[in-house]
A and B are shown apart, each in its own frame.
Chain A
């Protein structure tokens, strides 16, 4: 199973009390299954009302199929507030 880096920002970082960790995932996963996997390892993330997941700096589309490999970086992206 690939082991990927997971980054937490803003509210997500506060909820899990860390900026970075790693998580074992499947090579191919439905977006919703990846999200569940993240919830199962990082339970406090459920405290976010909504968020998106980025894979290697690109937003993943909810409902999509996701291909993952070692050295990938996923990020929990709470609603943005810049500008």
Chain B
């Protein structure tokens, strides 16, 4: 199963892990991205996320296809990502990948997270204590750096 979901409410890690679990798997590799309270010394008070859902879903499925061609033992891939305002320390994204053994899951997780940050159309605005918010670009983003 490849499952991608965008949620506006609190994101429970357990719900993602349970969705990825499989009786024939001995491992669920999990990543949790959380909201950090600082950027380059500036105090961040909250984050705001928005997405182009239809395209994000398509890009996620392309990444899953790529992952499954490299690591054939992968059983389930589950991604839930927040939308809207996210408070400090809240979960932004939870990813869970189930595999019979841990190695493929760990490698696939690293690959998935890089690809997610490169090209899946989700945007983040950082809101600061002392200034107006700024839309942030992932370092991995595929956009040309200069136009």
Question: Which chain B residues numbered 87 to 140 have a C-beta less than 8 Å away from chain A?
Answer: 92-93, 113, 116-125, 135-138
Chain A residues with CB under 8 Å of B120's CB are 80, 82-83
Chain B residues with CB under 8 Å of A30's CB are none
- In the complex the two chains form, is A83's CB within 8 Å of B123's CB? no
A79 and chain B: residue at smallest CB distance: B137
Number of interface residues of B (CB under 8 A): 34
Contacts A7-B52, A57-B54 hold; do A79 and B116 have CB atoms under 8 A apart?
A: no
Q: Which residue from A10, A51, A81, A82 sits with its C-beta under 8 Å from B147?
A: A51
Interface membership of chain A positions 18-60, coded 1 if the CB is closer than 8 angstroms to chain B and 0 otherwise: 0000000000000000000000000000001111101001110
Q: Which residue from B54, B116, B144, B146 sits with its C-beta under 8 Å from A82?
A: B116
B131 to chain A, nearest CB (A): 16
- In the complex the two chains form, is B123's CB within 8 Å of A10's CB? yes
- In the complex the two chains form, is A62's CB within 8 Å of B144's CB? yes
B55 and chain A: residue at smallest CB distance: A57
Asked if A77 is an interface residue, CB under 8 A from chain B, the answer is yes
Instruction: Provide the main secondary structure of the chain A interface.
Output: loop
- In the complex the two chains form, is A79's CB within 8 Å of B141's CB? yes
- In the complex the two chains form, is B123's CB within 8 Å of A50's CB? no
Contacts A10-B125, A50-B146, A50-B147 hold; do A80 and B55 have CB atoms under 8 A apart?
A: no
Mark B residues whose CB is within 8 Å of A: 33, 49-52, 54-56, 58, 81, 92-93, 113, 116-125, 135-138, 141-147
Listed from nearest, the 3 A-B pairs whose CB atoms lie closest are A82-B122, A81-B124, A10-B123
Mark A residues whose CB is within 8 Å of B: 7, 9-11, 13, 48-52, 54, 57-59, 62, 75, 77-83
9 inter-chain pairs at a CB distance below 8 angstroms, sorted by A residue, are A9-B50, A9-B123, A13-B50, A49-B146, A57-B58, A59-B119, A75-B55, A77-B143, A81-B125
